[in-house]
Amino acid sequence: MNSKKKLIKNLFSIEKKNCIITGGLGGIGFKIAKLMAHNKANVIIIDRKKQNIKYKNIHCYQSDLLNKNKTKNLIDKIHTKFGKIDILINALGISDENSFINNINTNLISVYNLTKIVIDKMKTKGGSIVNFTSLNSELGFSNNPGYVSSKGALKMLTKSFAIDYAKYNIRVNNIGPGYIKTKMTKKRFQNKKSRNLRLSRIPFGRYGNPDELFGAIVFLISDGSKYITGQDFYVDGGFLAKGI
């Protein structure tokens, strides 16, 4: 293998990186966790559900991230066990059309609580943080103001963190999935009218698959993006680019 190929391979390597993924048992989260573990990262899943995962390089912890004391104790435990935290991916999210505050608590407050605690552990060696936003961070959608508000606020929280902690070599960026085939999008996908309306806005003419987020995520958590922070990366099949 020549030197250029070695350089490219190393630039995007996540081997031996300690990576926390919240919501790592969900549709997108677990897919990402498995792909990262397969690429030799050490994956630490934090989820509200309790589940034993027998998968090499994946470790699972159960926690309610709204409880700051319990969250701090858990991160202390993880940091002691693994020695450092290189990466945090906040993939946890809900869409609750019946409760404004549930969206805000899960999609914004819990992310804030956890990220502040993890940042304190990253300050000595730096790190990369990726928050999951949404098309709802850029566009208004009907009948779910809590979700739209939480994702819009998360977008700006990311930029605030990016500015405040760049001096510690901590990078903070957003991944905004478009319409990806998951449990969260299943209801509207099964509704023909709803599905066709969304497909008409997607230049690729199809919903994305969870593993199609992986390239953008690896870019943001690897040295390939070490001069990038406070940015929004949308993996949406061109949805946001399309006009009339």
Q: Which residues are identified as catalytic?
A: 147
Q: Is 128 helix (H, G, I), strand (E, B) or coil?
A: strand
CB atoms within 10 A of CB 85: 23
- 117, amino acid identity: I
Contacts 24+ apart (CB under 8 A), 182-189: 182/26, 182/27, 182/28, 182/210, 183/26, 183/27, 184/27, 184/93, 184/94, 184/95
Separation CA 217–CA 195 (nearest Å): 26
Question: CA 122 to CA 91: how far, in whole Å?
Answer: 19
Question: CB under 8 Å to 155, separation ≥6 — which residues?
Answer: 133, 137, 138, 174, 232
60-to-19, 25, 49, 204 alpha-carbon distances in Å: 12, 9, 10, 35
Query: Residue length, the chain?
Result: 244
